Amino acid sequence: MTVLQAISEALVSPAFPWKSVVIGVTVAQFAFETYLSFRQYRVLARKQLPDVLVDEIDKETFEKSQEYSKAKIKFSVVSDVFSLLQNYALVKFNMLPRLWHAGQAVARKLLPAKYMAVSPVAQSLWFLFALSNLSTLLGLPVSYYSHFVLEEKFNFNKLTIKLWVMDMVKGNLLGYALGGPILYVFLKIFDHFETDFLWYICLFFLVMQVLAMTLVPVFIMPLFNKFTPLEDGELKQSIEKLAKNVHFPLDKIFIIDGSKRSSHSNAYFTGLPFTSKRIVLFDTLVNGSSVDEITAVLAHEIGHWQKNHVLNLLVINQLNLLFIFKLFTSVYRNESLYNAFGFFVSGGTAPGQQLASTQVVTQSFPIIIGFMLYNDLLTPFECTLQFFLSLMQRAQEYQADAYAKTLGYAKNLCRALIDLQIKNLSTMSVDTWYSSYHFSHPTLAERLTALDYVSEKKKA
């Protein structure tokens, strides 16, 4: 017997400790990310700015930025502990079958008996309905603290309780209206094609990504924010001139009322790689930056388009999905995995003659359960992948900065980045490991150095 055969037999054995493996992987991820947070927190104790920022950031701003970063690190660790306890309880106390039963109970109350759906796909959707509502309730304290304590303390929060509640209600309703049909098709692909689903699933996700990039900015985002066309004036003329010079397919320019939720600033463009684009500017950016600085920021964003970064990410996401679902084909029909968590396929062996509340008999393999458990087992791969994705995204940011520099916007881009750093109190001191794992953008000091920035104060 080969080693691979021995491993395969062990994995399908009823005695294989799947619960212990899932808990172990979850704890290992928590320990690893907490260690990175500890490293970053230790770096935040530094009292000295990076050399390139010494003449740009005053001591008071630097100290406030350090305190803000420390507060976010503490909060992330506490919320991670809370999440770890939830995941542990979900596994240890067989909460998945309980939620499966809860979903069916909700269905019986909401639907007349003659309309009560009992198909495996419908059962999975009701399970997800129960799970998502539980997740929303459990996430309320974390969300409240994040907005109304942490962000409020540093004067970033602009949310009211009413708007916070309305955002959650809208988000959940959209989740039911859009997520339900998407999940239905996702599960039906598995149900219909069984073992031959790989390419259909990948095609489905490709279509979903394209539709999301096309429809979300136009129909979904306006439900949460007001998009106002940029008025004629110096700023609009500057942006349109830039777009015309580099043949950027600009369609419309909008200002979004981001200030009603936060005082943080941002700018981005939307649209598929080969279609016209919409530029979106946060009102906080427009009101707090000069025309030249805003144009320089957009030159950076256009650099992403010119370098095909959006298309590259789309391709990488598809390859990642192909790899993930290819591996999933080898485990999703593993009965011992489902049995360990209280799910028994019809015709299989269920313990005892009467099922407990922590046991479920299903007509077929509950794919959504299998995928959730598989996702937990995939954690080591996802953590490793995150390092490479962050590395690639940081490289793309450097490329976009370099593109803006070739257009003559280096000085204004540096000025804009410094202003945004000050206004957003972004982290100025970073641990290499922590930033390599968590940061999709280089630090301000790294970007200024790459742009060969020299402070005007030093020149003087």
In angstroms, rounded to a whole number, what is the distance separating the alpha carbons of residues 178 and 76? 30
Q: CA angle, corner 154, sides to 44 and 43, nearest 5?
A: 5
Residue pair 157/147 in contact by the 8 Å Cβ criterion: yes
Angle of the 59-92 helix axis to the 95-110 helix axis, nearest 10: 80
Backbone angles phi, psi at 13, to 5 degrees: -70, 135
382 classed as catalytic: no
Residue 192 known to bind ligand: no
Residue 262's SS3 state is: strand
* Residue written as token pair 């009467």: 354
In 3D, which of 367, 359, 360, 364 has the Cα closest to residue 332? 367
Determine contact, residues 146/75, Cβ cutoff 8 Å. Answer: yes
The DSSP symbol for 441 reads S
- 301 labelled catalytic: yes
Q: Which of 56, 151, 376, 401 is catalytic?
A: 401
With residue 278 as reference, give the H or E element that holds it.
strand 277-282
Known binder of ligand: residue 240?
no
Can you tell me whether residue 228 is helix, strand or coil? strand
Q: Which of 151, 301, 431, 446 is catalytic?
A: 301
| Residues designated catalytic | 301, 401
Binding residues: 300, 304, 397
Binding residues for Zn(2+): 300, 304, 397
